[in-house]
Chains A and B, each alone.
Chain A
Amino acid sequence: MRNILRKEMRLSASILSYLFIFFGLMFLLPGYPVLLGAFFVTLGLFQGFQWAREANDIVFSALLPIAKKDIVKGRFLFVCLIEFCALLLMALSIVLRMTVFDSPAYRTNSLMNANFFALSLAFLIFALFNLIFVGGFFKTAYKIGRHFVVFIIVCFSIIFVSEALHHIPGLERLNSFGFDDIPLQLILLLAGIIIFFVITFFSYKKACRDFEILDL
């Protein structure tokens, strides 16, 4: 498994997939829809899929001494690795905003605060990327445009709804600042993590089934 992941990282990946991880640091920006950072990370991954397709990566992988399902596993592992790196940067940004950045620009932020609820939504966005785009890709191992457009619509809907939620009376606590409402925030984060793993696992299994019967 280490070999297929190494292949993904050194041959299949685009440099943009790595560079766009740093959009996770957008969680530091006050007065900005921070979840766009998660979207930009997926945009970097999309560029990687495009690059790999042009390089005939799937045919190359099919010729390696691995099972077809391992090709799917390698790609999912790589995508999750990039996502976790971005999530780590987002988590660090949240901790900095909780502990260091206390200026009025952060306190009077009219948009969504970068808190653990926001991080759980980033988990959700990545889970849906894995389901719609990565899972969808393995139906043809070639077509990527339509699946990414569907993901963009879903992703921006989530961002829009998320930004609106805390303005609804009774849901203000979703936008807690600093260490306020930490138990609730952590429960929401846990829910996001569980959703991520369940959806990603389901997507991986379905992608394996789709790819197995695909003619290359």
Chain B
Amino acid sequence: MVVVKVHGLTKKYRDFTLSDVSFTLSSGRITGFVGRNGAGKTTTIKSMLGMVHPDSGSVSYFDMPFAGNEAAIKKRIGYSTGTVSWYPRKKIIDIVDIVKRFYDTWDDEAYRNYLRLFEIDEKKTPRELSEGMKVKLNLALSLAHRSDVLILDEPTSGLDPFSRNELLNIFEELRNRGTTVFFSTHIVSDLEKCADDIIYISKGKIINSMPKSEFTQKYSNAGESLEDTILRLEGGVFNA
């Protein structure tokens, strides 16, 4: 079942254009959104969350257009864009005490489990956390309200290999519970480990959107890893 539909997103900047970006996300699947730095991943995600106003195109969740249903949709999705960069001098416990009041489905027990798993001390302030810990805090907040769809911008960037592995395992657990996970990354090995579908973006255009198995079948040479395939394709696009 399609839970997120992105159709024809276009956004023009002086030196970059996001062109006619369209894809769908299906329920209970992990989709990796891959592309090199500056390919348009963050602009696409911000457009999906209403933080960037596209010149044209539309985004709908659960068959509801985002425009006009923003609050209702945001309650059913979890999202994080990069690391925690807000309220550096407020205690995490005070920030979370405010955040959780916005969600009817906030699960305090799940939140505490994630804090334990990520070894986050909520008496600290965000400025006392390392970049990796900030990513984990953002994830704990995104995961604690039992969202149907999880949208994460570069969640594995800045994480050590152990934390990355933990995180990818969490994605798989969430998928098994029926949650749709959509995450952008430029680390192709993340996709190899857990993605069901791959959306590949280059220079603001979607090059491909398909199941990972179909992607490797279509593009990979014999014995070639997914990372090598994408590097080769990126080179082709780049040289085109």
Size of chain A's interface in residues, with CB distance under 8 A? 23
CA distance A59 to B51 in the complex (A): 9
* B71 CB contact (under 8 Å) in A6, A65, A214: A65
Whether A59 touches B86, Cβ cut-off 8 Å, given contacts A65-B74, A216-B51, is: yes
- Decide yes or no whether B102 CB sits under 8 A from chain A: yes
B52:A63 contact, CB within 8 angstroms: no
Cβ 8 A contact of B86, one of A55, A68, A215: A55
Counting from the closest, the 10 A-B pairs by CB-CB distance are A65-B74, A60-B86, A56-B86, A65-B75, A216-B51, A67-B70, A215-B52, A55-B87, A3-B101, A67-B71
One digit per residue, 1 when the CB lies within 8 angstroms of any chain A CB and 0 when it does not, for chain B 48-86 equals 011111000000000000000011001100011100011
What is A's interface to B at a CB cutoff of 8 Å?
3, 6-7, 10-11, 55-57, 59-60, 62-68, 70, 212-216
Q: What is the bound-complex CA distance between A43 and B87, given in angstroms?
A: 21
Nearest B-chain residue to A65, judged by Cβ: B74
Besides A67-B70, A213-B53, A214-B53, 13 new A-B residue pairs in contact (Cβ under 8 A), listed by A number: A10-B94, A11-B90, A57-B86, A57-B87, A59-B81, A60-B86, A62-B49, A62-B50, A63-B49, A63-B80, A63-B81, A66-B70, A68-B70
Chain A residues lying within 8 Å of B74, measured Cβ to Cβ, are 64-66
Interface residues of B in 94-137 (CB under 8 A from A): 94-95, 98-99, 101-103
Residues of A within 8 A of B71 (CB): 65-67, 70
What are 12 A-B contacts with C-beta separation under 8 Å?
Answer: A3-B102, A11-B94, A55-B86, A59-B85, A62-B50, A63-B49, A65-B71, A65-B103, A67-B70, A67-B71, A216-B46, A216-B52
Interface residues on B, range: 20 to 34
In the assembled complex, B178 has its CB within 8 A of some CB on chain A: no
**CB–CB A6/B70 < 8 A:** no
Do most interface residues of chain A lie in helix, strand or loop, or is the interface mixed? helix
Contact partner of A62 among B51, B85, B87, B89, CB < 8 A?
B51
**How far, in angstroms, from A94 to B25 measured CA to CA in the complex?**
63
Q: With a CB–CB cut-off of 8 A, which chain A residues contact B38?
A: none
Q: What CA separation (Å) do A57 and B90 show in the bound complex?
A: 12
Contacting residues, chain B, for A212 (C-beta < 8 A): 53
CB neighbours (8 Å) of B90 from chain A are 11, 55
CB-CB under 8 A for A6 and B98, given A60-B86, A64-B74: yes
**Residue among B75, B85, B101 making CB contact with A56, cutoff 8 Å:** B85
Complex CA gap A105/B95 in Å reads: 49
* Cβ-closest chain B residue relative to A7: B98
Shortest Cβ distance from A104 into chain B, in angstroms? 50
Task: A7 to B99: give the CA distance in the assembly, Å.
Answer: 8
Contact B102 A215 (CB under 8 A): no
CA of A60 to CA of B75 in the docked complex: distance in angstroms?
Answer: 15
Give complex CA distance A57, B126 in Å: 14
CA A67 to CA B94, docked complex, whole Å: 23
User: Which residues from chain B contact A213 at a C-beta distance below 8 Å?
Assistant: 53
Q: Which residues of B contact A63 (CB under 8 A)?
A: 49, 79-81
Does A6 contact B86, Cβ atoms closer than 8 Å?
A: no
Nearest-CB residue, chain A, relative to B147: A65
Q: Which residues of B contact A57 (CB under 8 A)?
A: 86-87
Which of A57, A63, A212, A214 counts the most B-chain CB atoms under 10 A from its CB? A63
Q: Measured between C-beta atoms, what is the minimum distance from A123 to chain B in Å? A: 31
Chain B residues with CB under 8 A of A7: 98
Name the A residues within 8 Å of B80 (CB-CB).
Answer: 63
Are A55's CB and B88's CB within 8 A? yes
